[in-house]
Amino acid sequence: MKFKLLTATILFSFSLSNLLAQVEQVKVRTHEIGIQTDNDSYLGQGSDQYYTNGIFIYYRQALSINNPSATRLANRVLGIELGQKMYNPQSGSVPDKEFIDRPFAAYLYAGANLNLLYKNESNLKISLQTGIIGPAALGAEAQNLIHNTFGFYTLQGWHYQVKNSFQLNFSGEYNKLLARAKWIDVSGSTYANIGTGFIGAGIGPLLRVGNFNALYNSVSTQSTASKVGLTPLHQHEVFLYYKPMYNYIGYDATVQGNIFKHTAGDEVTGTPEHSVFSQQIGVAYSGSRWVLDAGAVIHSRDVTRMVRTHKWGTVTLLYRFK
């Protein structure tokens, strides 16, 4: 039954892509703005745990390329983002700190990134984020607002959250096309983080099935904004993707607290799992104006005391314009 459903989904994706290509032509769009929202409730599993909510606002602008015919670059994109991530234990209401298997924590930040995309379908994305982890990140206030608005249960335990610590974090991401057939391709993906909050690295493949574009102008590499007239493989992207990844965690301030100080007061911290495996499966679409990416993430335990694995849904919606 699951195989039949997957086959029907793929066939529907191809048909939708071909139909959209007939009624709308993709134009060069140099700017895009949008929002991403993550929440474990999107999967309908009735849970409210671990990485429980995230919200991000994006603005991206394609940059000019001098003498494009004589350079390896196919596209350059500058990005700015604002974001907040919230974490709580196996429940947002714990009667005692002994039940905290993953610390209460929130991360509020602003960031910028430069995405360099090459004609050989590789890209290097360099990012800088600065912000705060702790009560000043307003995690308790945001989660209380959500619960009060929708009539969810009363929260209890945020006074145990990790204390305030200033954040300055750098990251680099590299992707490279490995092989491609007509309707399927596979890429390699790696990243590394270093900073006051996050130290680690990861590696894994990205499998795409459907109508996808080259990695220098695709949803997959956040490069749908472009300032040059790139010829797409397809007028519209509509594809399924699967991205498993091995992650090494050296330090995580949402688990361990301030990297420069020991635990203080009522703060409850944890011990991270250094080897973490994640999987993301989803569907992506890009057209002349709109970009949509929706997926589900399964994440192994990243704290030694955690009772079970993470699972959450993620949805990104972008609007492209000149």
**Could you report how far apart the first and last alpha carbons of the chain are, in Å?**
44
Quick one: pLDDT at residue 47?
80
Tens of pLDDT along 232-257?
A: 788 899 999 999 999 999 999 999 99
Which residues in the chain come in under a pLDDT of 70?
1-27
Report pLDDT for 232: 78
pLDDT 10s digits, 60-111 = 999 999 888 889 999 999 999 999 999 999 999 998 999 999 999 999 999 9
Residue 7: per-residue pLDDT: 47
How does strand 165-180 pair with strand 275-286?
A: unpaired
**Partners of 173 in the β-ladder:** 125, 191
Q: What confidence score (pLDDT) does residue 9 get? A: 46
pTM higher than the cut 0.85: yes
Comparing CA positions, the residue from 303, 306, 250 lying closest to residue 273 is 303
pLDDT of residue 290: 96
The confidence score (pLDDT) of residue 27 equals 66
Domain spans in the chain, listed from the N-terminal domain onward? 2-321
- Provide the CATH number for the domain formed by 2-321 in this structure: 2.40.128.140
Q: How far is it, in rounded angstroms, from Cα 179 to Cα 205?
A: 11
pLDDT of residue 164: 96
pLDDT of amino acid 228? 76
